[in-house]
């Protein structure tokens, strides 16, 4: 199960991503928001981060205007490694190296075409399980 959430700046891109997940037969849970009316991104960042941290969802996708505020919020939750990605190299590397469990995107930064490729790369890349990366991730939690 994928947790997905956004603020008003990410609402339109979230609609595209949810359609894409449906096309891929991937289950998701939408934590809002539900329109382009102005809202506060921390509410949605926390909701998705808490669902992933609790194990209710395996991965999360968060979108705000830049992806910055909502990723900062998510990374406050213990056990969350939210990665703001603007290209597929970053999405692949953060899965291989950081075992990132939330992808953050900027709805005002990346177009839908690129965003969907980033989503696919993030979801389809497994953690490397390399000893050095396991060690470094453990140090984040110290």
88 burial level (CB within 10 Å; 0-12, 13-18, 19+): middle
Angle between helices 11-23 and 112-124 in degrees, nearest 10: 50
- For the annotated catalytic residues, the residue numbers are 64, 97
**Minimum distance between the CB of residue 43 and ligand RB5, rounded to whole angstroms?**
12
| Cα torsion angle, 110, 115, 119, 120, sign | negative
Nearer to ligand RB5, 64 or 119 (CB): 64
Nearer to ligand RB5, 1 or 90 (CB): 90
Binding site for ligand RB5 (CB under 6 A): 7, 9, 41, 64-66, 68-69
**Minimum distance between the CB of residue 110 and ligand RB5, rounded to whole angstroms?**
13
**Minimum distance between the CB of residue 77 and ligand RB5, rounded to whole angstroms?**
17
Closest alpha carbon to 2 in 58, 72, 63? 58
Which residue in this structure is represented by tokens 């490694």? Answer: 81
Nearer to ligand RB5, 26 or 72 (CB): 72
| Nearest residue to ligand RB5, by Cβ distance, number only | 69
Nearer to ligand RB5, 5 or 69 (CB): 69
Which residue in this structure is represented by tokens 């900062």? Answer: 72
Which residue in this structure is represented by tokens 């949605």? Answer: 44
**Minimum distance between the CB of residue 48 and ligand RB5, rounded to whole angstroms?**
14
């Amino acid at each position: 199960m994928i947790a997905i959430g956004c603020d008003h700046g990410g609402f339109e891109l979230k609609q595209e991503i949810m359609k894409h997940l449906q096309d891929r037969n991937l289950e998701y849970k939408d934590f809002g928001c539900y329109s382009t009316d102005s809202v506060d991104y921390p509410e949605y960042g926390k909701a998705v981060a808490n669902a992933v941290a609790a194990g209710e969802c395996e991965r999360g996708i968060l979108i705000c205007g830049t992806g910055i505020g909502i990723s900062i919020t998510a990374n406050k939750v213990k056990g969350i490694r939210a990665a703001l990605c603007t290209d597929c190299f970053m999405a692949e590397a953060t899965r291989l190296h950081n075992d990132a469990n939330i992808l953050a995107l900027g709805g005002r930064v990346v177009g839908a075409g690129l965003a969907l490729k980033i989503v696919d790369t993030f979801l389809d890349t497994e953690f490397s399980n390399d000893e050095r990366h396991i060690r470094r991730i453990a140090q984040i939690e110290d």
